Structure 1
Amino acid sequence: MNEKRTESFILRLTEKEKEMLVSLANEHDMSISSYLRNMAFKGSAVTKTDIQTVIELKRIGNNINQIAKQINMIPHEDNIKLYLQELHDFLNMVSEITKKLV
C-alpha cells in the first residue's frame, strides 16, 4: 500500500538535537522523515546498506555450500583404496582377455 503521505508533524528540537538527527539520518543514508518513521514504527533504521549486506551474506553462504558440496564429492581414503583395487582387478581382466585374443 503506497499511500500518499498528506499529514505533517511538527517536532521542536534544540539546535544540537537537530544536528544529531541530521547526522544520524545521513549515516543511514536516509531522509530525516524516513529515519524518524523507521525509528518510531520499527524501532530501527533499516538502510540500503543493511539490505545489501544481507544479499552479500547470502551469496557468500551459497558459495560456501557449493564448496562444501565439491569437497564432499572427493573420495575418502577408504574409497580410494577400494577404487584402486577395483581398477587393478579390471586391468587384470583386460590383460587376461588380451592374452586369450593374441
Structure 2
Amino acid sequence: MIIAKRKRNVTLSIRLTAEEKKEIATKAKQAQMSLTDYLIECSRKTTIKVTDLSAILVELKRIGNNLNQIARKANSRRFFFAKFDSVIEGQRKIYDAILNMMGEDKTWRQ
C-alpha cells in the first residue's frame, strides 16, 4: 500500500545499528515501499499492548516466600506434608511466564 502524497514537513530521527537499518530497508524493498512509507505503515498497523503486572508479581513473590517457608519446615521435619515440589514448580512457571509477558529476560531465582 502506498501512502498518499502529502507535504512531509516534520522529521523524526532514530538511531539504529547498520544491521537493523539493512533489515528494515530490505523489508521495505520487498514491500515495494520507500523506507519512510514502510516505517509509517508498520507503526500504524502495530498495536502496543501495555500490561502492568507489578502488583501480581509482588503477590506471587509473597506466595513463593510462603511456599519456601513451608518447604523449609517440612524438610526440617518439624511437621509433615505431602511433597510441595509440584506446587513450587508451578509457582516458578507462573513467575517466569509473567516475566516473559513483561519482556524481562529473567528466570526464577532461589
Q: Give the TM-score band, short-chain normalised.
A: 0.3 to 0.5
Relative contact order higher in (CA < 8 Å, ≥ 6 apart) = 2
Determine which structure has more spread, i.e. the larger CA radius of gyration.
1
TM-score (norm 2): 0.36
